[in-house]
Structure 1
Amino acid sequence: MRKILQLYSSLLMMLTILFLLPACEKEDNETLISRNGQNESHQEGDNCMQCHTSGGKGEGWFIAAGTVYTSNLQATLPNGEILFFTGPNGSGTLVKIIEVDQLGNFFTTEDIDFSAGLYTAAKGSETTIYMDTPITSGQCNSCHGQSTEKINTH
C-alpha cells in the first residue's frame, strides 16, 4: 500500500510540474496602459513590440507604443498625450488617447482598430504636432527614430 501511495504521489508531482511549466512563458496578455507620472517603463526609443508581443519577453502585448521627445530631439518628453483620429490634423473622430509616462514612453494593450488607417498627434504642454499620413500599425518606434524623425513636441 505504501508503494502505491508513493507512486501516486510521484505521479501527482509530475503532473503538477507539467501543468506549471507553460506558466513560465510570457503567454499571458495582461492589461498595461501608460499614465502620466508613471516611471516604470524602459528602453526609450526601442521598438517596444520586439518584446511586448505574444511569445515575447515583455509583459503585455502592446497594440500601440513608442517614445516622445522634446522638439530638439535631445531628451524624452514626459507627461504628454498621443491622440488617434480618423481624419488628418485632428479631424474626424477621436478614437483613442494614450498618456505619455514620466520617461517619455507611451503604450497600451487595449484594442485599437488600425484597419482603415488612423492619424496621430503628439500633444505636449505647449503644442500638438500632427502626423501627415495615416498609420496601420502601432509600432511607432519601428519607424520613428529609425527611418523617420523621432516623435517630438513641446
Structure 2
Amino acid sequence: MSQKKNLLVMLLLRLSVLVFSSCEKENGANVKNISSHGSNESHNMGKNCMECHKSGGGGKGWFNIAGTVYDSTKLATLANTTIKLYTEANGGGQLKYTFEGDAKGNYYSTDDVSFGDGLFPSVQGPTGTKYMSTSVKTGACNSCHNVTTDKIWAK
C-alpha cells in the first residue's frame, strides 16, 4: 500500500508541475486592452507591440492592431490621435474600424480586426489627416514603421 501511495503522490506532484509550468503569466492572458484618448497606460513607444502582446507573450492582452504616432518632426510622439481603417485608399469606401491613440502616442486594441484583402489606414492629428497609400493585412504597424519604413506621423 505504501508503495502505491508514494507512486500516486509522485504522479500528482509531476502532474501539478506540468500544469502550473505550462500556464502563461497572469498578465499575458488575452484580456481586453484598448487605448483611448488621454490614457497613459502604454509603454515602449516605437517598438513592435505584438512581440509581447500575443499568445504566449508576457503583454497584457493579445493585440490585433498597435503602433505609435509621431509629430511631424518624427522625434516626439503625438498624443490623442485617431486611426481609421477604410476599404479603399484615401479614406474611400467603407470605414471599418476606428481606434484612439493615447497620451503617449500609442494606439492598440485587442478587439477583433478583420483585414481581409487589405484595409487602408489613416491617422488624424489635431490639424490634419494623413493616408497610407497601400493596404495592410496586419495590425503590427511598428513591425515595418520605424524599422524598414518611415515612422507613422501626423500634424
Aligned residue-pair number: 152
Following superposition of structure 1 onto structure 2, how do residues 89-128 of structure 1 map, counting pairs within 5 Å? 89-128=90-129
2-structure distance, mates of 1:93, 1:67: 24
Q: Percent identity over the alignment?
A: 42
After superposition, give the CA deviation of every residue in 1:56-112 in whole Å (9 maximum; x if it has no partner): 121111101000000110100000111000011111111111100000000011111
> Which amino acid counterpart does residue 25 of structure 1 have in structure 2?
K
2-structure distance, mates of 1:96, 1:38: 19
2-structure distance, mates of 1:59, 1:79: 21
Gaps of 5+ in 1: none
Structure 1 runs (4+) greater than 6 angstroms displaced: none
SS of the residue corresponding to residue 96 of structure 1 reads strand
Q: Report the CA distance between 1:38 and its aligned residue.
A: 0.8
Q: Report the CA distance between 1:18 and its aligned residue.
A: 5.4
2-structure distance, mates of 1:130, 1:25: 38
Q: Give the structure 2 partner of residue 80 of structure 1.
A: 81
1-structure distance, mates of 2:100, 2:117: 23
- State the TM-score, normalized to the length of structure 2: 0.86
> Is the 2:24–2:56 contact (alpha carbons within 8 Å) kept by the matching residues of 1?
no
Gaps of 5+ in 2: none
Pairwise CA RMSD of aligned residues?
2.4
- State the TM-score, normalized to the length of structure 1: 0.86
Following superposition of structure 1 onto structure 2, how do residues 55-74 of structure 1 map, counting pairs within 5 Å? 55-74=56-75
